[in-house]
Amino acid sequence: MTEIPVRTYDAVIVGARAAGSALALHLARAGLNVVALDRSTFPSDILSTHVIYPNTIARLDQMGVLDAVLAHAPPPLYTAWHHEGRMFVAPHTPIEGRDWAICVRRITLDGILVEGARKAGAEIVEGMTVTGLIGKGTEDDPVRGVTALGETGEIGFAAPIVIGADGVNSTIARLVGAARKRIMPTETMLYFAYWTGVKTRNTQDFFFEPPWVCAHFPADDGHHVITMNGPLTARAEIKDWDEYYLNRIRSIPALWARLEGATKVSKVIGSPRLEGYYRDHTGPGWALVGDAAHFKHPAGAQGIGDAFHAAEVLAGMIADGSWRHAYPAWREQDSREFYAFCKHLGEPPGNDSMRQVMDTYIRDPKLARAIVDVWARTVKPWSDVIPHVPGLAAVTGASIDAVLAPYEGERLPLAASA
Ligand SMILES: Cc1cc2nc3c(=O)[nH]c(=O)nc-3n(C[C@H](O)[C@H](O)[C@H](O)COP(=O)(O)OP(=O)(O)OC[C@H]3O[C@@H](n4cnc5c(N)ncnc54)[C@H](O)[C@@H]3O)c2cc1C
**Domain locations in the chain?**
6-83+102-184+275-337, 188-271
Task: Output the 3-class SS for 166-212.
Answer: CCCCCHHHHHHCCCCEEEECCCEEEEEEEEECCCCCCEEEEEEECCE
Report pLDDT for 191. 97
pLDDT band at 2 (very low <50, low <70, confident <90, very high): low
Residue type, 271: S
Cis upstream peptide for 74 (omega within 30°): no
Contacts of 229 (CB under 8 A, 6+ apart): 188, 189, 190, 191, 212, 213, 214, 215, 299
Q: Which amino acid is located at 72 in the chain?
A: H
288 forms beta bridges with: 164
Q: pLDDT grade, residue 411 (50/70/90)?
A: low
Ligand 1 probe mutation, 41, 304, 377, most atoms within 8 A of CB: 304
Q: In whole angstroms, how far apart are CA 50 and each of 8, 18, 20, 225, 410?
A: 35, 11, 17, 9, 31
Phi/psi region, residue 251 (left: phi>0; alpha: psi -120 to 50; beta: rest), is alpha
The Cβ of residue 408 has, within 10 Å, a number of other Cβ atoms equal to: 16
Which has the closest alpha carbon to 358: 230, 211, 207?
207
More confident residue, 412 or 38: 38
Separation of 375 CA from ligand 1 center, angstroms?
Answer: 19
Q: Which residue's CA is the nearest one to ligand 1's atom 27?
A: 167
Q: What is the mean pLDDT of the chain?
A: 96
Q: What angle do CA 236, 298, 125 make, to 5 degrees?
A: 110
pLDDT exceeds cutoff 60 at 416: no
Residues 6+ apart with CB under 8 A from 411: 182, 332
pLDDT score recorded for residue 408: 83
Residue of 151, 116, 140 lying closest to 36 (CA atoms): 116
pLDDT band at 410 (very low <50, low <70, confident <90, very high): low
Cβ(24) – ligand 1 distance below 6 Å:
no
- Three-class DSSP category at 373: helix
In testing the pocket of ligand 1, which one of 47, 49, 345 has its CB within 8 Å of the most ligand atoms? 49
The one-letter amino acid at 60: L
* 80 sits in which H/E element: strand 78-83
User: pLDDT-derived band of residue 413, with 50, 70 and 90 as boundaries?
Assistant: low
Round to whole Å and give the CA distance between 126 and 81: 41
Q: According to DSSP H, which parts of 85-158 are helical? A: 106-120
CA-291 nearest atom, ligand 1: 26
DSSP-assigned letter for residue 381: I
Q: Does domain 6-83+102-184+275-337 have CATH number 3.50.50.60?
A: yes
Q: Is residue 303 within 6 Å of ligand 1 at its C-beta?
A: yes
Query: Does residue 27 have a pLDDT over 50?
Result: yes
Does the N-terminal peptide bond of residue 272 adopt cis geometry, omega within 30 degrees of 0?
Answer: no
* Tens digit of each residue's pLDDT (9 = 90 or more) over 310-369: 999 999 999 999 999 999 999 999 999 999 999 999 999 999 999 999 999 999 999 999
Rounded distance between C-alpha atoms, residue 357 and residue 333, angstroms: 28
pLDDT for residue 418 is more than 50: no
- What is the reported pTM? 0.96
